[in-house]
Structures are given as C-alpha cells and as structure tokens.
C-alpha cells in the first residue's frame, strides 16, 4: 500500500489540503491505521500548540513586564501627542496666551524629539547599554531601534585597591578580604551617586511598593 | 539598648540554616519605629571556593509608634566581622507614614567573607527618622539628618512646582513636564563606578594646574569664588576652593557638587564633597583640604580635563537648609547631568505606572 | 472580545486649563483599560513569532501605540481585537523582515535537522530546565515556518489570509505550514522516546 507523503497528511490534518488531495487521503485512511494515527497526531499537535501558546515563557515576570510595557505605551502616546501638536498648525493666532502656549509646545516637542534621538548616541558613546532605557526609548520613538554599542568590560584595577563599587545590580564595599553589598533590583531610573569622602549610593523606586529607596555603602577612611 | 533576634520562618528545618544568618536588629527603647514583622524567606548561606556567601533577603514591616508623620528613615547595616570599619545604609524617603501605620522595608544584602573568618550576624540599626515638622530622631552617625532633610525640602519644592504647573496649564502642561523629566532620566545612562582609597597613590601621571570653573546659582546663599587644583589622572591634588557666604546667617555645613569633563569630552556629575565649617555672614573660607579622588567609571580610568564646582546644598547654624530652586536647576549645565530629586523620580514613576489621574490625585494629598 | 476604544482627544480640545475634567479622565481610563485588556494577548502573539522576550516587549509597545494612534482607521469597533491582532502580526513580521532579513517567500528544506541552540553544555542544561517543550519545539522551526504556523493554528487565519499577511503565494504558505507541522511532530516523537 502506498502511503501519502507526510506533507499531505500534515495539510489534511489542518484542512489546507485541496479537495482532490483530501479525497485521496481520506480514502487511504479508511484502510491504513498507521496513517490514521499519523493524521490524528498532526491534529493533536495543532491543539497542543494552541493550548500552550497562551502560556508565558517561564523566565517572564508578567506583572512587572506588563507594568513596564503599559508605562512605556502611555509615555509613547503622550510623546506622540506632543509631537503631533508640534506638527499641527496653530489655529489660534489672536490670543497671545494661546500663542505662547503653542510656542512652548513647539519648544518642548522639539526638545523631546532631540532628547530621544540623543539617547542612543549617548549610549553608544559611553558603551553602556541600558535595557530598560531602550524599551522606554522605543516607546518614545514608537519605532524599533537596534541596540547601539556593547558593554565594555571596565579595566579592572588591582583587587586590593578598589573599596567601593556601584553597578546596575548592587553597590558594595570591600575590606579585609570580605565585602558587604546592597543589591538593588533591575529598575527604571536607577541613580548612582558618590560622596567623595567615602560613600556611594544607588537610588531606585521599588516597583512593588513605589517607595524611593537609597542604598548606600561607606568605606572606612584610613 | 535593647536587642532582639527575630525568627520569621515557618519551616522548622529551615530555621537551623537561617539561625546562623539572621540579622540582629537593634532599636533603642524610645525608637519612633518598631519592627512588627520580618521575613527572610529566600535567604541562603553558601560556600564558594575560599569564601562563604550570605544572601540575606529581608522584608521588614515597621510601625510608626510616634505621634507624628514620618517622612524618611535611614537604617544602618553593618557586619563587624566581615567589614569591620565599613558599613551600609538603607534609606527610604518621600514617605508619608501616619502614626500607628505600618510600612515595608526591603533589603537585599550579600556578605562575602573568607572561610577562615569567624563570621557573625549582620546588624541592623536605626540611624535616623525624619518627621513632617522636620524634627529628627536618631544617633545620626551617617549624616542622615542632613540628608533626609534635604530630600524632604526638595520634595516640597518639587510638589509645589508640579502643582503650580497643574494650576496654570492644566493636566496637559503637567504631563509635558513629566515627560521632559522622564526624557532627561532616560538620557542619563546608568554609570558603573569604582572608588579607591584616597590615601593610596594609584596614578603616576604628571600633574598640571587647573583653575576650577564655577557655577553660580542665583538663589544660593553661598557661592564659590575661586579655586584650583593640580590634576593628575582622576585626582585633584592640593585643591583650593574659596566660598563666600552672601547671606545674613552663619553657615555650618555645605556640600559642593562637582561636574567633571573627561579627556573624551564626557561631562557628568562626578559626586559631592561635604564641608563642615563655621562661616559667618559675609565672610569667605577655604573648604577643601584633601586630595579629591574622583571615581572611575565603567569603561576605564578617568582622566579629568576640567572641573566645575557648584554649591549643592547649605545648612545654616540655626538648622535651616537651602537647596537649589527649580529655576536654579534649569541651568543647562546642571539639567543634563543632575539626577532628579527622589520625589520627582517617584512622581514621574507614578505617572508611568498609573497615569495622569493618579499623579494628580497624589499631588492633591499634599 | 470587543473592547471599547478610548475617544480620541487632541490638545486643542482641552479648552481652558482647570482641574482634570471628566471627559479627559474617562478617555485616559478607557485607554488604560484597552491596554490592560489586550496587552498579554498581543505580547504572546508577537513573542511566538519573534521568539525573543526583549524584542517582543518592544514590538508589543509599538503595536499598541500604533493601534491607539490610528484608531480612527477602525470602522467596526466589534472587530477591534481582530484589527489589533493584524497590527501586532504586521509589526512582528516587519521586524523579522528588517532585522532578521527573513524572506517569507523562500521555502526551507525539510531534510535539515532540527536546529539546536548553540550553547555551552551548562547553558543547554539550564535551557532545558527552564523552557517548556513547546518553546523548544517552536524554537526549532525557521522564522517563516513558525510565523506561518502561529498565524494558522494559533490565530486561526485561513491559508489565504496567511499568504496575504506574509505577502507570498498560498502554495508557499502551505509548504511552510506543512514543514512546521512535520518538524514539530518529529520533535514530539523524540521527546516521547527520551
């Protein structure tokens, strides 16, 4: 018995086979349990793909991601409106107040465009990509922009020299072969600050509580 | 001082592991905050090579046991065994905790100690609490009174500013300003920073004398008048900076902010330097003593090309403080490099997460 | 699910500045609801096509912004969900065309083995621990095959509609779909034997 090719069975299972192909396969299936099972497997796979496609990838923290996306969309729409106002000719030429407001809008929208455009130049220049800034920038510009630049590994000073380090995930102080680090979650708007008499801080907004949190480490002066 | 050891874990099997790494929480008897709950659920202690790593994930619940609203708090974090002289702190600011109300504090701490060290508990203490009337409680070993007060004054300034925008230009005007702030935050990339001990000579670059550029903020009661240093790599040696008290009150403390331009033309806010002094009205004084060692940035060693000094905040002898006004902050040299205040950051984030209505409602609360 | 679109509101509609007016507030709330009602569905659809979380995030944002900015193009509000899905898939497909330089009208051979991710043994172990078998099964398809399969079997588009979306012939689309199903079936059989 000649079996139909696999692709015919696969298309038959999904209803994409032409009428003659379908008729031919249907006739064969009546007499062939092997191909019947095969077609049923293809059918089942379709359902499997459908069922499992509503599940999130395991590495995704949905609430956090959704919050971030919703925020970026809101910002992107608002920025788009500012730019649209910039493009729209002013209807009111009589009121000085409206004229002043329009010219403020023009300045601000133009600045927003320039600022958005400058981000990747700055990121490339400093070789320090900020994944969250990029997602926000994408929303601001509403187009897909490729990442610019790669993280350059900083030249490592001698291990016994460095006492305080601040990075995107933690700030730490080292002493006597030990270290104390305060970790911060990946969050938007992380701000690193330095007091040159011996401390560094990392400020962020806790995404669960909305609280402003500042972690700081202090090194002992010799 | 009363000390208490809190065990917040459910599983008896886990208790034996966590007993070794649970922190010791020291709060004074008359502390305005009390710990009412603590969870260290994901905390671990693991050996890695020649070291032991303790990962402490603490979710504390504190209650305001005073009769006033709390605006800020700084907790001290210390491990005498691991880093005897060094310490950390966790500050929450822009709070509004009413008497009797509870609030969460989350800390994620990693201790790394050599296996040969004895190890010992992490200590959590209270450095200070700021109330809504700007009074302060605490030992203030980390200058948290000054810091929390500056944050609160900045917060009030920024809330007034946003409310004024809302009143003058409606929600659209408020939203545009928030977007502008957000753009500035996005524009300012995260920095990776390394600092080394000031006392060690780490670079042998030749010195060259550099006159400081000075940024005058019109409203500032103190202004820098002249300054210079010998620059070598990332160090400003034998620095001299003179300041003039233009106000009619004596000044006891101020912070100088430094904008640095490096050899690659990058301009950024490098840090601040505090100065404790007793400066009568109308008088001048020198405020720098030691070599300024600027932090290294991710990407390589820093080579200073030029430095600009400005007065970041001032504390008068009567305890009142001055911070730059919004007009001062509009200076383009500052706007592109200075981080927003914590309150501005919080309000902008509120807008991002919950929208304009939520932001307007929040502003109405104050 | 039919979701009401927020009424479009422009700067010049605002009138005299005063407290947040009820109309603007309602518009903002509708916008927020539209986003929250559709965000997960759009994200998953785009993710299944581009197979990358970070890209899916950016493209989801882009698609929803586009939809809300061009809502005047939607004639029948009852078809909002379907219209939004088209925007989302177009956004993802355009991305693959531009960045992955994918030509949806070329047909992949079936003889080539399922692609294994190039990773260290340690990364592969981690990969297998964390990804479900659907992820692995779909990751083994080419972009063309995966896109065609998602549009047909997940979105329920007919083969003609998929061809229109990918801008290629129905015969090509049928080949993509058939290849995708065969490769996925092979993967499922290998999983069953393991």
Query: pLDDT band at B254, cuts 50/70/90?
Result: very high
Nearest Cα of chain A lies from the Cα of C99 at a distance, in angstroms, of: 9
Whether residue A158 lies inside any domain: the answer is no
Collapsed DSSP state (helix, strand, coil) of residue C194: coil
pLDDT at B223 over 70: yes
Residues of chain A where predicted confidence (pLDDT) is lower than 70: 82-162, 186-188, 220-222
CA distance A168 to A189: 11
A53 touches chain C (CB under 8 A): yes
> Which residue has tokens 């077609």?
A39
Inter-residue contact B295 to B194 (CB < 8 Å)? yes
pLDDT at residue A151, rounded to an integer: 28
Q: In this complex, do B172 and C29 lie within 8 Å of one another by their Cβ atoms?
A: no
Interval B339-363 mean pLDDT: 92
Interface probe with C: pick from A12, A35, A52, A134, most Cβ of C within 10 Å: A52
- CB proximity under 8 Å: B 217-256 to A: none
CA C53-C59-C61 angle, to 5 degrees, is 105
Q: Is the pLDDT of residue B16 over 70?
A: no
Provide the shortest C-alpha distance from residue C101 to chain B (in Å): 30
Q: Does A2 touch chain C (CB under 8 A)?
A: no
Report percent pLDDT > 90 for chain B.
55
Q: Are the C-beta atoms of residues B201 and B237 closer than 8 Å to each other?
A: no
Please give the Cα distance from B229 to B232 (Å, whole number): 9
In this prediction, residue B43 carries a pLDDT of: 85
Name the residue with higher pLDDT: B7 or C135: C135
CB-side neighbour CA atoms (13 Å) of A53: 28
Confidence of residue B160 (pLDDT cuts 50, 70, 90): very high
Q: Do B186 and A164 touch (CB under 8 A)?
A: no
Contact between B171 and C32 using a beta-carbon 8 Å cutoff: no
Which ipTM was obtained for this model? 0.89
A1 within a domain of the structure (yes/no)? no
What was the pLDDT predicted at B9? 27
Q: Which residue has the higher pLDDT, B97 or A136?
A: B97
Q: Are residues A142 and A122 in the same domain?
A: yes
The last residue of one of the domains, among A152, A182, A208, is: A152
Confidence of residue B97 (pLDDT cuts 50, 70, 90): very high
B95 touches chain A (CB under 8 A): yes
Which of A12, A16, A21, A77 would best serve as a mutation to test chain C binding (most C beta carbons within 10 A)? Answer: A16
Task: Return the exposure string of A47-62: e unless at least 16 CB atoms fall within 10 Å of the residue's CB, then b.
Answer: ebbeebbeeebeebee
The reported pLDDT for the residue numbered A109 is: 40
Q: Name the residue with higher pLDDT: C9 or B329.
A: B329
Q: Is residue C133 over pLDDT 70?
A: no
Are residues A25 and A73 part of one domain?
no
| pLDDT 10s digits, A129-163 | 355 556 666 555 543 222 222 222 334 445 446 68
Whether residue A71 is found in the same domain as residue A97: yes
Whether residues A112 and A193 fall in one domain: no
Q: What are the pLDDT digits (tens) for C85-120?
A: 999 999 999 898 887 677 777 777 654 444 444 444
Domain residue limits at A81: 62-152
Question: What pLDDT score was predicted for residue B100?
Answer: 96
pLDDT for res A117 = 43
Q: Cβ–Cβ of A80/C69 closer than 8 Å?
A: yes
CB B90 within 8 A of CB B123: no
Pairing of strands B208-211, B51-64: unpaired
pLDDT at B7 over 60: no
Distance from CA of B340 to the nearest CA of A (A): 9
SS3 content of chain C, % helix, strand, coil (to 5): 70, 0, 30
pLDDT at position A142:
41
Q: Are B294 and B306 in contact (CB under 8 A)?
A: no
Q: Do C62 and A57 touch (CB under 8 A)?
A: no
Contact (CB<8Å) B357/C28: yes
Final residue of a structural domain among A14, A33, A53: A53
At B69 the pLDDT is 97
Per-residue confidence (pLDDT) for residue B91, from 0 to 100: 97
Average pLDDT, chain B: 85
Percent of chain C with pLDDT over 90: 34
Whether A146 and A95 map to the same domain: the answer is: yes
How close C104 gets to chain A, by Cα (Å)? 18
Q: Do A105 and B176 count as a contact with CB atoms less than 8 A apart?
A: yes
Chain C nearest-CA residue for B171? C20
- List the domain boundaries for chain B: 21-142, 152-188+344-365, 193-197+204-337
* pLDDT tens-digit map of B187-208: 775 567 777 764 444 556 778 8
CATH topology of domain B193-197+204-337: Immunoglobulin-like (2.60.40)
Locate the chain B residue with the closest alpha carbon to C11.
Answer: B172
Smallest Cα distance from A216 to chain C, Å:
30
Residue A133 domain-assigned (yes or no): yes
- pLDDT at position C138, please? 85
Residue B319's pLDDT band (boundaries 50, 70, 90)? very high
The CATH code of the domain at B21-142 is: 2.60.40
Facing residue for B355 by CB, picked from C14, C18, C28: C28
Domain boundary among A152, A187, A203: A152
Residue A135 has its nearest CB partner, among C11, C48, C57, at C57
Question: Do A96 and A77 sit in the same domain of this protein?
Answer: yes
Let me know whether A75 and A128 are in one domain.
Answer: yes
Chain C residues whose C-beta is within 8 A of a chain B C-beta are 11, 14, 16-18, 20, 24-25, 28-29, 32
For residue A157, is it within any domain? Answer: no
Chains that contact B by 3+ CB pairs under 8 Å?
A, C
Tell me what the mean pLDDT of segment C134-150 comes to. Answer: 87
3-state SS of chain A is CCCCCHHHHHHHHHCCCCHHHHHHHHHHHHHCHHHHHHHHHHHHHHHHHHHHCCCCCCCCCHHHHHHHHHHHHHHHHHHHHHHHHHHCCCCCCCCHHHHHHHHHHHHHHHHHHHHHHHHHHHHHHHCCCCHHHHHHHHHHHCCCCCCCCCCCCCCCCCCCCEEEEECCCEEEEEECCEEEEEECCCCCCCEEEEECCCEEEEEEECCCCCCEEEEEEECCCC
* Chain-chain contact of C17 with B356 (C-beta, under 8 angstroms): no
- Hey, is the C-beta of B44 within 8 angstroms of any chain A C-beta? no
Decide if A213 and B199 are in contact by the 8 Å CB cutoff: no
Q: Is the pLDDT of residue B55 over 70?
A: yes
Q: Do A49 and A69 belong to one domain?
A: no
The verdict on a CB contact (< 8 Å) between C28 and B356 is: yes
Greater confidence (C122 vs C92) lies with C92
Interface membership of B173 toward C (CB under 8 Å): yes
- At A86 the pLDDT is 52
Q: Are B130 and B108 in contact (CB under 8 A)?
A: no
Structurally, chain A folds into a number of domains equal to: 3
In a domain, A200, yes or no: yes
Q: How many CB pairs under 8 A join A and B?
A: 277
Check if B313 contacts A (Cβ < 8 Å): no
Among all residues of chain B, which has the CA nearest to that of C20?
B171
DSSP B107-148: EEEEEEEETTS-----EEEEEEEEETTS-EES--TTSHHHHH
Q: What does the pLDDT read at residue B118?
A: 61
Residues of A whose CB is below 8 A from C154: 49-50, 53
Beta strand B136-137 pairing with B296-297: unpaired
Percentage, residues of chain B above pLDDT 70: 87
Q: What is the DSSP letter of B29?
A: T
B105-125 pLDDT tens trace: 999 999 888 776 666 678 999
Highest mean pLDDT among A109-118, B12-21, B69-78, C27-36: B69-78
Question: Residue B299 — very low, low, confident or very high, per pLDDT cuts 50/70/90?
Answer: low
């Amino acid at each position: 018995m000649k079996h139909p090719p696999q692709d015919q069975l696969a298309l038959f299972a999904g209803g994409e086979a032409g009428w003659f192909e379908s008729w031919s396969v249907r006739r064969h299936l009546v007499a062939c349990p092997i191909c019947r099972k095969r077609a049923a497997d293809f059918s089942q796979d379709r359902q499997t793909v459908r069922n499992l496609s509503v599940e999130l990838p395991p590495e995704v923290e949905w609430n956090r991601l959704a919050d971030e996306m919703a925020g970026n969309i809101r910002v992107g729409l608002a920025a788009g409106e500012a730019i649209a106002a910039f493009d729209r000719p002013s209807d009111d030429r009589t009121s000085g107040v409206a004229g002043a407001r329009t010219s403020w809008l023009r300045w601000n929208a133009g600045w927003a465009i320039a600022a958005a455009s400058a981000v990747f130049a700055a990121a490339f220049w400093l070789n320090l990509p900020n994944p969250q800034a990029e997602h926000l920038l994408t929303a601001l510009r509403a187009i897909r922009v490729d990442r610019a630049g790669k993280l350059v590994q900083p030249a490592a000073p001698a291990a016994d020299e460095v006492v305080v380090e601040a990075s995107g995930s933690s700030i730490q102080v080292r002493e006597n072969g030990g270290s104390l680090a305060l970790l911060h979650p990946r969050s938007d708007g992380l701000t690193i600050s330095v007091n040159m008499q011996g401390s560094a801080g990392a400020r962020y907004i806790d995404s669960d509580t909305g609280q402003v949190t500042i972690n700081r480490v202090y090194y002992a002066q010799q | 001082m009363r000390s208490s050891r809190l065990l917040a874990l459910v599983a008896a099997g886990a208790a034996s592991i966590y007993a070794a790494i649970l922190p010791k929480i020291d709060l004074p008897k008359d502390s305005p905050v009390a710990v009412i709950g603590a969870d260290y659920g994901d905390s671990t202690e693991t050996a890695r090579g020649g070291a032991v790593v303790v990962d402490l994930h603490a979710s504390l619940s504190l209650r305001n046991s005073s009769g006033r609203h709390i605006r800020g708090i700084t907790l001290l974090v210390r491990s005498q065994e691991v880093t005897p002289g060094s310490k950390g702190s966790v500050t929450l600011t822009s709070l509004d905790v009413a008497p009797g109300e509870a609030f969460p504090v989350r800390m994620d701490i990693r201790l790394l100690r050599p296996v040969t060290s004895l190890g010992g508990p992490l200590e959590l203490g209270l450095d200070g609490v700021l109330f809504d009337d700007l009074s302060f409680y605490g030992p203030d070993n980390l200058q948290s009174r000054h810091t929390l007060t500056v944050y609160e004054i900045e917060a009030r300034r920024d809330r007034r500013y946003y409310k004024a925008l809302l009143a003058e230009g409606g929600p659209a005007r408020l939203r545009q300003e928030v977007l502008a702030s957000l753009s500035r935050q996005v524009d300012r990339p995260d920095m990776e920073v390394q600092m080394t001990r000031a006392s060690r000579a780490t670079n042998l670059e030749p010195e060259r004398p550099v006159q400081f550029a000075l940024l005058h903020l019109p409203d500032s009661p103190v202004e820098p008048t002249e300054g210079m240093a010998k620059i070598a790599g990332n160090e400003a040696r034998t620095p001299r900076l003179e300041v003039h008290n233009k106000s009619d009150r004596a000044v006891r403390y101020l912070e100088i902010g430094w904008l640095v331009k490096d050899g690659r033309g990058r301009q950024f806010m490098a840090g601040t330097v505090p100065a404790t002094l007793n400066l009568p009205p109308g008088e001048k004084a020198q405020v720098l003593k030691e070599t300024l060692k600027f932090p290294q940035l991710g990407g390589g060693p820093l080579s200073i090309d030029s430095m600009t000094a400005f007065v970041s905040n001032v504390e008068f002898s009567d305890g009142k403080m001055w911070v730059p006004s919004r007009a001062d902050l509009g200076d383009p040299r500052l706007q592109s490099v200075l981080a927003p205040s914590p309150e501005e950051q919080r309000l902008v984030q509120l807008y991002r997460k919950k929208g304009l209505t939520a932001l307007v409602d929040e502003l109405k609360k104050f | 699910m039919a979701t009401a679109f927020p009424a479009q509101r422009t700067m010049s509609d605002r009138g005299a500045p005063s407290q947040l007016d009820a109309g603007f507030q309602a518009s903002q709330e509708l916008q927020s609801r539209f986003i929250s009602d559709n965000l997960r569905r759009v994200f998953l659809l785009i993710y299944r096509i581009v197979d990358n979380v970070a890209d899916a995030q950016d493209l989801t944002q882009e698609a929803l912004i586009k939809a809300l900015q061009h809502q005047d193009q939607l004639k029948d509000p009852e078809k909002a969900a379907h219209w939004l899905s088209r925007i989302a898939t177009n956004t993802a497909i355009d991305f693959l065309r531009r960045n992955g330089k994918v030509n949806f009208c070329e047909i992949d051979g079936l003889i080539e083995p399922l692609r294994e991710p190039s990773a260290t043994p340690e990364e592969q172990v981690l990969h297998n621990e964390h990804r479900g078998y659907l992820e692995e099964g779909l990751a083994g398809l080419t972009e063309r095959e995966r896109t065609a399969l998602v549009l047909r079997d997940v979105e329920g588009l007919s083969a003609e509609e998929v061809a229109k979306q990918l801008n290629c012939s129905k015969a090509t689309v049928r080949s993509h779909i058939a290849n995708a199903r065969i490769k996925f079936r092979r993967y499922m059989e290998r999983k069953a034997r393991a």
